[in-house]
Amino acid sequence: MWKPEECFCMRLKRASEELLKLYTKTIAPAGVTPVQYLILLRIHELQSGSLREIADAIGVDRSTLARTIKPLKKNGLIKDNKPVGARNGVLVLTSEGEIVFRKARILWNEAQDIVAARLGKEGIDKYSDFLKTVTTG
């Protein structure tokens, strides 16, 4: 019989929350959240992208993405270069967005380094294998 404290789901949830706190705290000086950083990263990599392309790239639905990009637009980090008459917009980074992206990338890599140091080489491999196992069913 399994004990409640052995619940895989709850243990993963707690670990996920702790990782998110670490990333949030580490990249906070850039003025974006970890998810917002990933949005900036994908737009940077694609040079521009529709809501669907960006949502698919980061693994969220379009409505979640639309809510998450509002502060990025408001703060002048991204803009929508939607052609006149087009149904879908084309998101691009502004020059300020590029600056914030570069700063956040350095800080995100610091968070990655912290986690990698905690896990060690063998732990990184095990963690990656575990994530593949639980996300591919």
Query: Using one digit for the tens of pLDDT, what is the confidence trace for 55-82?
Result: 888 888 888 888 999 999 999 999 988 7
* Residues in the chain where the model's pLDDT stays below 70: 86, 137
* pLDDT the model gives residue 134: 85
What pTM did the predictor assign?
0.85
Q: Is the Cα torsion angle 65, 47, 104, 22 positive or negative in sign?
A: positive
Report the SS3 class of residue 83.
coil
Look at domain 32-136 and name its CATH class.
mainly alpha
Contacts of 48 (CB under 8 A, 6+ apart): 81, 90, 91, 92
